């Protein structure tokens, strides 16, 4: 299984979706969209930014 980093997308109606994609054990692409408020999206993004330096240190 391979995983991709989650990302945020703005949908045509102005809502925000957190998109998580991965490949299952059979090689099928699977994408899940979680619709969230813009406020929640900003909070999640801020938390991800805080975690990024720690993730980079762990991968070295």
Q: In sequence order, what DSSP letters do the residues of 7-56 get, joined into one string? A: EEEE-TTS-EEEEEEEE-TTS-EEEEEEEE-HHHHHHHHHHHHHHHHHHH
**Token duo for residue 36:** 């969230």
pLDDT of residue 3: 63
What residue ranges do the domains of the chain occupy?
2-59
Q: How confident is the model at residue 18 (pLDDT cuts 50, 70, 90)?
A: confident
pLDDT at 9 over 60: yes
For domain 2-59, give the CATH number. 3.10.450
In terms of pLDDT, which residue wins out, 46 or 52?
Answer: 46
* For residue 60, pLDDT beyond 60: no
């Amino acid at each position: 299984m391979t995983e991709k980093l989650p990302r945020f997308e703005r949908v045509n109606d102005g809502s925000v979706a957190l998109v998580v994609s991965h490949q299952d054990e059979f090689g099928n692409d699977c994408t899940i969209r979680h619709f969230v408020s813009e406020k929640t999206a900003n909070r999640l993004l801020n938390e991800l930014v805080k975690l990024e330096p720690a993730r980079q240190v762990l991968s070295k």
